[in-house]
Amino acid sequence: MKKFKNAVALMLAFAVIASMTGCSVTREASAEATESTQTTYLVGSPGTNEVCEFGVTDINSFSITTEYGETMNYLLVGVYYTNLTDNTQDIARRNVELYLDNEESVACEYRIEFEEFFDEGLLFNDRKVNPGRTKRGYIVYRVYRDYSIINICLNGITVTADSDEVVPLGLPTEETEVVIEETVPPEPIPEPVVVEPVPEVPTEINPETGEPIIVEEVPPEEAPAE
């Protein structure tokens, strides 16, 4: 009887080990299948599923300084969305999720300080997307810390980018007029003009007419030779 109990115990032990092994294999296979279905895309390469096509065109950064001296950092993400279904879809900025190293950052509303960098009309609007139509625009996200990886997600499509792919935006600079100074050759120095003096001719005034009378000087007569 004791041997029978030992045999039953051994059989149960083998069954437990076999069930644990099978569960482990099943979990590993399930994890591999999940990883294989999570495809990420790069900036400029859109992802597509049965619902939509979603892509990121560019990622920019900019900073503003408040009147209190606080520096606020932002990311400006250009996205586009194409409706591949037969129904109208309601897609807004809040639907596009952004993660900085797996930490979510919420989309911002437009601020008047943004006018120095881009116009409000360029934002990804909240209007619905009709079947077969594409909506494009920019979304602003507030950045509170440093990061290395950016993930932008919508409807199961993830676009990833490194921090070095972010292009900083600078304030527009005023155009300065370039003045080209022309070198003017010096004018030649004129040669001095010698003016010979004109001998004065003694004159007398006619008392009757008041006009000058030119008196010609008569050269003295030469003395006769002795």
What are the tens digits of pLDDT across the range 29-67?
Answer: 344 444 445 578 999 999 999 999 999 999 999 999 988
What is the spatial distance between Cα 30 and Cα 79, in angstroms, rounded to a whole number? 32
Q: How confident is the model at residue 173 (pLDDT cuts 50, 70, 90)?
A: low
CA distances to 51, 109, 133, 156 from 39, rounded to whole Å, are 16, 30, 24, 9
What is the spatial distance between Cα 14 and Cα 18, in angstroms, rounded to a whole number? 6
Domain over 40-168 is classified CATH 2.40.10.220: no
Q: CB 47: neighbour CB atoms within 10 A?
A: 20
Name the residue with higher pLDDT: 38 or 144. Answer: 144
Going by the DSSP 8-state scheme, the letter that residue 89 receives in this structure is B
pTM > 0.75: no
47, 157, 30, 135: which is closest to 89 by C-alpha?
A: 135
pLDDT, tens digit (0-9, with 9 covering 90-100), for 101-122: 989 998 999 999 999 999 999 9
Give the model's pLDDT for residue 172: 55
Give the model's pLDDT for residue 192: 73
